[in-house]
Amino acid sequence: MKEKKVSKTVTLADIQNKKASGEKITMLTAYDYSMARILDEAGLDIVLVGDSLGMVALGYDSTVPVSMEEMIHHCSAVRRGVNRALLIGDMPYLSYQISKNEAVKNAGRFIKNAGCHGVKLEGGYDMAPTIEKMVKAGISVMGHIGLTPQTAIALGGYKVQGRDLKSAKKLIEDAKAVANAGAFSLVLECIPSIIAKTITEMVSIPTIGIGAGPHCDGQVLVINDLLGFFEKFTPSFVKRYVNLNPKIKEAIDNYINEVKNGVFPGPEHSFRGGEELLEDLKSENK
């Protein structure tokens, strides 16, 4: 297999131009420096520091408890591993819903303190004025409609949105409002494929699907789901490209057994030399 060489820095214009050219957009989440570097070197278009870190990295039951400080901390770590991909930070619950001014201030921290290129926030028509104010302040915004995990309880739980005429119309209204407010792209989560296709064709900005079928302009997954790290639950729309969890457990089991049985470290893992000092050391310790 040829080594992939990717050097061009991804810009907002590149992401928006992909919609016109028909080239699919690739996005995955990252929460630390090491994984960010791997994704960046692989040639990914967008790295998202999602508030999903609450569950897969911090052990919370949902995304709701995630704080601004936690998001800034993880975004800063990821930023140090990203040199060419577009880096987006996920705004946590209640960091942008209270007031437009507070939303702009918090969004600015992602850019100024964490080095993100933009932010993502959940919500449609109701959030459009906030998005517009952020954009006017020079902050690039990625929208997110459909299943919005931060307010999943109000939506009736983690379930597909837009299955009836009323909710489908609402999704289209939300998408148009987010686009008109100046967002540069839009995440569609847990939406029937045909509705996602309709939205993708209606709005001028790229759509990025997660559980929204193949017709979106791009796709995103949580990296822990893709790699089989997170076994607590796996959404039905996730494709596991590898199941690393049992392989990691097997490696750790082998390590424990080798340490206990004196197999590791072996000669090849130990430093040589010092024999000439042994007699002197012994005599000094008599």
The catalytic residues are 189
Helix-then-strand count for the chain, H and E = 11, 8
Please say whether the beta carbons of 218 and 209 come within 8 A: yes
Q: Which two tokens stand for residue 283?
A: 């005599």
H-type helices in 100-229, by residue range? 100-112, 128-136, 165-180, 193-202, 223-227
- H or E segment to which residue 33 belongs: helix 33-42
Chain CA centroid to CA 271, Å: 41
Please say whether the beta carbons of 20 and 213 come within 8 A: no
Would you call 84 exposed, middle or buried from its count of C-beta atoms within 10 A (0-12, 13-18, 19+)?
A: middle
